[in-house]
Protein backbone atom coordinates (compact mmCIF):
# COMPACT_ATOMS: atom_id res chain seq x y z
CA UNK A 1 0.00 0.00 0.00
CA UNK A 2 1.26 3.45 -0.86
CA UNK A 3 0.20 4.82 2.50
CA UNK A 4 2.99 2.78 4.05
CA UNK A 5 5.47 5.07 2.32
CA UNK A 6 4.04 8.21 3.91
CA UNK A 7 6.47 9.71 6.42
CA UNK A 8 5.17 10.94 9.77
CA UNK A 9 3.29 14.22 9.33
CA UNK A 10 5.03 15.49 12.42
CA UNK A 11 7.51 14.11 14.89
CA UNK A 12 9.44 15.14 17.96
CA UNK A 13 12.38 13.91 20.02
CA UNK A 14 13.97 15.96 22.83
CA UNK A 15 17.45 17.31 22.24
CA UNK A 16 18.63 15.49 25.37
CA UNK A 17 16.54 12.32 25.83
CA UNK A 18 15.85 11.14 29.37
CA UNK A 19 17.98 8.17 30.31
CA UNK A 20 16.43 7.30 33.68
CA UNK A 21 16.71 3.59 34.41
CA UNK A 22 17.39 2.85 30.74
CA UNK A 23 14.04 1.16 30.16
CA UNK A 24 11.89 2.14 27.21
CA UNK A 25 8.14 1.79 26.84
CA UNK A 26 5.90 1.87 23.79
CA UNK A 27 2.49 3.46 23.29
CA UNK A 28 0.63 2.93 20.01
CA UNK A 29 -2.29 5.33 19.68
CA UNK A 30 -4.69 4.88 16.79
CA UNK A 31 -7.72 6.60 15.33
CA UNK A 32 -9.72 6.23 12.16
CA UNK A 33 -7.02 7.87 10.02
CA UNK A 34 -3.84 8.10 12.07
CA UNK A 35 -1.28 6.16 14.05
CA UNK A 36 0.88 7.70 16.75
CA UNK A 37 4.00 5.86 17.90
CA UNK A 38 5.28 7.12 21.26
CA UNK A 39 8.40 5.85 23.00
CA UNK A 40 8.73 6.96 26.60
CA UNK A 41 10.81 6.43 29.71
CA UNK A 42 9.70 4.91 33.02
CA UNK A 43 9.03 8.39 34.43
CA UNK A 44 6.65 9.01 31.49
CA UNK A 45 8.97 11.53 29.86
CA UNK A 46 8.95 11.42 26.08
CA UNK A 47 11.77 9.84 24.08
CA UNK A 48 10.17 10.19 20.65
CA UNK A 49 6.80 10.77 18.97
CA UNK A 50 5.85 10.07 15.37
CA UNK A 51 2.37 10.72 13.95
CA UNK A 52 1.41 9.02 10.69
CA UNK A 53 -1.56 10.15 8.56
CA UNK A 54 -3.31 7.15 7.02
CA UNK A 55 -5.87 8.20 4.45
CA UNK A 56 -6.85 4.59 3.73
CA UNK A 57 -7.49 3.82 7.40
CA UNK A 58 -5.54 1.96 10.06
CA UNK A 59 -4.66 -1.71 9.79
CA UNK A 60 -2.26 -4.19 11.36
CA UNK A 61 -0.17 -4.38 8.20
CA UNK A 62 0.60 -0.66 8.44
CA UNK A 63 1.55 -0.99 12.09
CA UNK A 64 3.76 -3.98 11.31
CA UNK A 65 5.49 -1.99 8.57
CA UNK A 66 6.18 0.98 10.86
CA UNK A 67 7.44 -1.11 13.77
CA UNK A 68 9.62 -3.04 11.32
CA UNK A 69 11.56 0.06 10.28
CA UNK A 70 15.11 0.67 11.48
CA UNK A 71 13.94 3.02 14.24
CA UNK A 72 11.92 0.36 16.08
CA UNK A 73 12.71 -3.16 14.90
CA UNK A 74 15.53 -3.93 17.33
CA UNK A 75 14.08 -2.15 20.36
CA UNK A 76 12.73 -3.85 23.47
CA UNK A 77 10.00 -2.34 25.62
CA UNK A 78 9.03 -2.90 29.24
CA UNK A 79 5.47 -1.68 28.79
CA UNK A 80 3.36 -1.70 25.64
CA UNK A 81 0.00 0.11 25.54
CA UNK A 82 -2.47 0.24 22.67
CA UNK A 83 -4.63 3.37 22.99
CA UNK A 84 -7.81 3.71 20.96
CA UNK A 85 -9.20 7.14 20.09
CA UNK A 86 -12.13 5.58 18.22
CA UNK A 87 -15.64 6.85 19.06
CA UNK A 88 -17.00 3.38 19.92
CA UNK A 89 -17.10 3.77 23.69
CA UNK A 90 -19.70 4.32 26.41
CA UNK A 91 -19.41 5.55 30.00
CA UNK A 92 -21.16 3.58 32.74
CA UNK A 93 -21.55 4.54 36.43
CA UNK A 94 -19.04 2.55 38.44
CA UNK A 95 -21.56 1.52 41.08
CA UNK A 96 -23.73 -0.42 38.62
CA UNK A 97 -21.03 -1.80 36.33
CA UNK A 98 -20.41 -5.55 36.23
CA UNK A 99 -17.36 -6.71 34.30
CA UNK A 100 -19.05 -9.84 32.99
CA UNK A 101 -21.64 -7.62 31.28
CA UNK A 102 -19.13 -5.47 29.38
CA UNK A 103 -19.76 -7.26 26.07
CA UNK A 104 -23.51 -6.91 26.46
CA UNK A 105 -23.18 -3.20 27.32
CA UNK A 106 -21.00 -2.60 24.28
CA UNK A 107 -23.25 -4.52 21.88
CA UNK A 108 -26.36 -2.73 23.16
CA UNK A 109 -24.82 0.63 22.23
CA UNK A 110 -22.71 -0.22 19.18
CA UNK A 111 -24.04 -3.52 17.90
CA UNK A 112 -22.23 -6.80 17.35
CA UNK A 113 -19.18 -5.55 15.45
CA UNK A 114 -16.69 -7.82 13.72
CA UNK A 115 -12.99 -7.66 14.53
CA UNK A 116 -13.54 -5.82 17.81
CA UNK A 117 -12.30 -6.84 21.23
CA UNK A 118 -14.38 -5.33 24.03
CA UNK A 119 -12.42 -3.87 26.93
CA UNK A 120 -13.01 -1.40 29.76
CA UNK A 121 -11.13 1.13 31.89
CA UNK A 122 -12.06 2.11 35.42
CA UNK A 123 -11.97 5.89 35.81
CA UNK A 124 -12.09 6.16 39.60
CA UNK A 125 -11.75 9.96 39.68
CA UNK A 126 -15.17 10.28 38.03
CA UNK A 127 -16.68 7.07 39.47
CA UNK A 128 -17.14 5.79 35.92
CA UNK A 129 -16.19 2.81 33.80
CA UNK A 130 -15.44 3.33 30.12
CA UNK A 131 -16.49 0.35 27.97
CA UNK A 132 -15.04 0.39 24.46
CA UNK A 133 -14.02 -1.62 21.43
CA UNK A 134 -10.41 -2.23 20.41
CA UNK A 135 -9.33 -3.11 16.89
CA UNK A 136 -8.74 -6.83 17.29
CA UNK A 137 -6.23 -7.06 14.43
CA UNK A 138 -4.04 -4.32 15.90
CA UNK A 139 -4.28 -5.78 19.39
CA UNK A 140 -3.53 -9.34 18.27
CA UNK A 141 -0.53 -8.22 16.23
CA UNK A 142 0.97 -6.23 19.12
CA UNK A 143 0.23 -9.05 21.55
CA UNK A 144 2.02 -11.53 19.27
CA UNK A 145 5.29 -9.59 19.44
CA UNK A 146 4.83 -7.94 22.85
CA UNK A 147 2.91 -10.28 25.20
CA UNK A 148 2.76 -7.51 27.81
CA UNK A 149 0.47 -5.40 25.59
CA UNK A 150 -2.58 -3.88 27.27
CA UNK A 151 -5.36 -1.70 25.88
CA UNK A 152 -6.73 1.66 27.03
CA UNK A 153 -9.03 4.32 25.61
CA UNK A 154 -8.26 7.99 25.01
CA UNK A 155 -11.47 9.18 26.70
CA UNK A 156 -10.46 7.42 29.92
CA UNK A 157 -7.02 9.00 29.82
CA UNK A 158 -8.33 12.47 28.99
CA UNK A 159 -10.67 12.32 31.99
CA UNK A 160 -7.81 11.35 34.29
CA UNK A 161 -5.64 14.12 32.84
CA UNK A 162 -8.18 16.74 33.95
CA UNK A 163 -7.38 15.85 37.56
CA UNK A 164 -3.70 16.31 36.82
CA UNK A 165 -3.96 19.57 34.88
CA UNK A 166 -7.29 21.37 35.29
CA UNK A 167 -8.65 21.00 38.83
CA UNK A 168 -9.00 24.76 39.21
CA UNK A 169 -11.27 24.98 36.14
CA UNK A 170 -13.93 22.37 37.00
CA UNK A 171 -16.71 24.93 37.47
CA UNK A 172 -17.03 25.30 33.69
CA UNK A 173 -14.47 23.55 31.48
CA UNK A 174 -14.55 22.68 27.79
CA UNK A 175 -11.68 20.64 26.36
CA UNK A 176 -11.44 19.91 22.67
CA UNK A 177 -8.94 17.54 21.02
CA UNK A 178 -8.70 17.55 17.22
CA UNK A 179 -7.70 14.59 15.05
CA UNK A 180 -8.52 13.98 11.39
CA UNK A 181 -12.32 14.16 11.05
CA UNK A 182 -12.91 13.52 14.75
CA UNK A 183 -13.32 15.93 17.62
CA UNK A 184 -13.01 14.60 21.17
CA UNK A 185 -14.96 16.82 23.55
CA UNK A 186 -14.90 16.81 27.35
CA UNK A 187 -17.40 19.13 29.02
CA UNK A 188 -17.51 19.76 32.78
CA UNK A 189 -20.00 21.95 34.67
CA UNK A 190 -20.06 22.46 38.43
CA UNK A 191 -17.36 19.79 38.84
CA UNK A 192 -19.73 17.27 37.21
CA UNK A 193 -18.91 15.57 33.94
CA UNK A 194 -21.55 16.44 31.34
CA UNK A 195 -20.12 14.99 28.14
CA UNK A 196 -17.07 13.01 27.04
CA UNK A 197 -17.18 11.63 23.54
CA UNK A 198 -15.68 11.82 20.06
CA UNK A 199 -17.86 13.25 17.29
CA UNK A 200 -17.38 13.22 13.55
CA UNK A 201 -16.90 16.42 11.57
CA UNK A 202 -15.99 17.44 8.04
CA UNK A 203 -16.29 21.23 8.02
CA UNK A 204 -15.88 24.22 10.30
CA UNK A 205 -19.66 24.51 10.40
CA UNK A 206 -19.90 20.94 11.73
CA UNK A 207 -17.53 21.77 14.58
CA UNK A 208 -19.34 24.98 15.58
CA UNK A 209 -22.73 23.24 15.43
CA UNK A 210 -21.61 20.35 17.63
CA UNK A 211 -20.12 22.67 20.25
CA UNK A 212 -22.95 25.20 20.41
CA UNK A 213 -25.51 22.39 20.49
CA UNK A 214 -23.76 20.87 23.51
CA UNK A 215 -23.59 24.20 25.32
CA UNK A 216 -27.30 24.70 24.72
CA UNK A 217 -28.18 21.15 25.80
CA UNK A 218 -26.28 21.42 29.09
CA UNK A 219 -27.19 25.08 29.70
CA UNK A 220 -23.62 26.34 29.72
CA UNK A 221 -22.90 30.05 29.40
CA UNK A 222 -20.30 30.47 26.65
CA UNK A 223 -19.10 33.68 28.30
CA UNK A 224 -18.07 31.82 31.48
CA UNK A 225 -16.61 28.54 30.24
CA UNK A 226 -12.85 28.03 30.01
CA UNK A 227 -12.05 26.45 26.65
CA UNK A 228 -8.82 24.61 25.89
CA UNK A 229 -8.08 23.36 22.38
CA UNK A 230 -5.30 21.05 21.25
CA UNK A 231 -4.39 18.45 18.68
CA UNK A 232 -4.20 18.65 14.94
CA UNK A 233 -5.53 22.15 14.32
CA UNK A 234 -3.55 25.09 13.03
CA UNK A 235 -3.76 28.57 14.53
CA UNK A 236 -4.51 29.92 11.05
CA UNK A 237 -7.33 27.44 10.43
CA UNK A 238 -10.83 28.74 9.77
CA UNK A 239 -12.15 26.50 12.56
CA UNK A 240 -9.89 28.13 15.14
CA UNK A 241 -10.89 31.61 13.99
CA UNK A 242 -14.59 30.72 14.24
CA UNK A 243 -14.18 29.23 17.70
CA UNK A 244 -12.63 32.48 18.90
CA UNK A 245 -15.71 34.37 17.74
CA UNK A 246 -17.97 32.39 20.06
CA UNK A 247 -15.79 31.57 23.07
CA UNK A 248 -14.30 34.44 25.02
CA UNK A 249 -11.94 32.46 27.27
CA UNK A 250 -10.30 30.17 24.74
CA UNK A 251 -6.71 29.22 24.18
CA UNK A 252 -4.53 26.46 22.82
CA UNK A 253 -3.52 23.98 25.47
CA UNK A 254 0.20 23.81 24.87
CA UNK A 255 2.28 20.82 25.78
CA UNK A 256 5.47 20.73 27.81
CA UNK A 257 7.52 20.64 24.62
CA UNK A 258 9.62 23.83 24.38
CA UNK A 259 8.60 25.93 21.40
CA UNK A 260 12.21 26.60 20.44
CA UNK A 261 12.67 22.89 19.77
CA UNK A 262 9.91 23.08 17.15
CA UNK A 263 11.13 26.21 15.38
CA UNK A 264 12.51 24.33 12.39
CA UNK A 265 8.97 23.43 11.36
CA UNK A 266 6.81 26.52 11.72
CA UNK A 267 3.64 24.60 10.77
CA UNK A 268 3.85 22.57 13.97
CA UNK A 269 3.37 24.15 17.39
CA UNK A 270 3.36 22.84 20.93
CA UNK A 271 -0.40 22.18 21.17
CA UNK A 272 -0.21 19.55 18.41
CA UNK A 273 1.43 17.21 20.91
CA UNK A 274 -0.75 17.90 23.94
CA UNK A 275 -3.25 15.00 23.52
CA UNK A 276 -0.44 12.52 23.01
CA UNK A 277 1.52 13.74 26.04
CA UNK A 278 -1.64 13.67 28.17
CA UNK A 279 -1.87 10.00 27.24
CA UNK A 280 1.61 9.40 28.61
CA UNK A 281 0.73 11.18 31.86
CA UNK A 282 -2.02 8.70 32.58
CA UNK A 283 -1.19 5.29 31.11
Per-block mean pLDDT, blocks of 10 residues, the chain (283 long): 57 69 89 92 89 87 92 92 95 96 94 91 96 97 96 96 84 92 93 94 95 95 92 90 94 74 60 84 80
> Would you say 49 and 36 are in contact if contact means Cβ atoms under 8 Å apart?
yes
Position 263 scores a pLDDT of 47
Alpha carbon distance 62, 51 (integer Å): 13
Name the nearest CA neighbour of 139 among 128, 127, 147.
147
Alpha carbon distance 54, 3 (integer Å): 6
Position 155 scores a pLDDT of 96
Position 215 scores a pLDDT of 95
Position 193 scores a pLDDT of 94
DSSP states of 117-162 as a string? EEEEEEEGGGTEEEEEEEEHHHHHHHHHH-TT-EEEEHHHHHHHHH
Alpha carbon distance 261, 56 (integer Å): 31
Q: β-strand 89-93 against 182-189: which pairing, if any?
A: unpaired
> Would you say 213 and 267 are in contact if contact means Cβ atoms under 8 Å apart?
no
Position 30 scores a pLDDT of 95
Position 100 scores a pLDDT of 95
DSSP E strands in 54-114: the ranges are: 80-84, 89-93
Q: Is the dihedral of CA 98, 100, 105, 108 positive or negative?
A: negative
Amino acid sequence: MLQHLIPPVFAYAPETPTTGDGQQNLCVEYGSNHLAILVFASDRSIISIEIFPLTDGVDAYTLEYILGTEKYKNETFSEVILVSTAPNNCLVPQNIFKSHLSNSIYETIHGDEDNVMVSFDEVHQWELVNVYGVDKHLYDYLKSIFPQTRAMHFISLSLVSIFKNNLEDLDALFKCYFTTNYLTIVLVKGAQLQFAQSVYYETTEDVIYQILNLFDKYNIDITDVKALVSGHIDQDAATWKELRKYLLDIDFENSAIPSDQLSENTAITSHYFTPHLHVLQCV
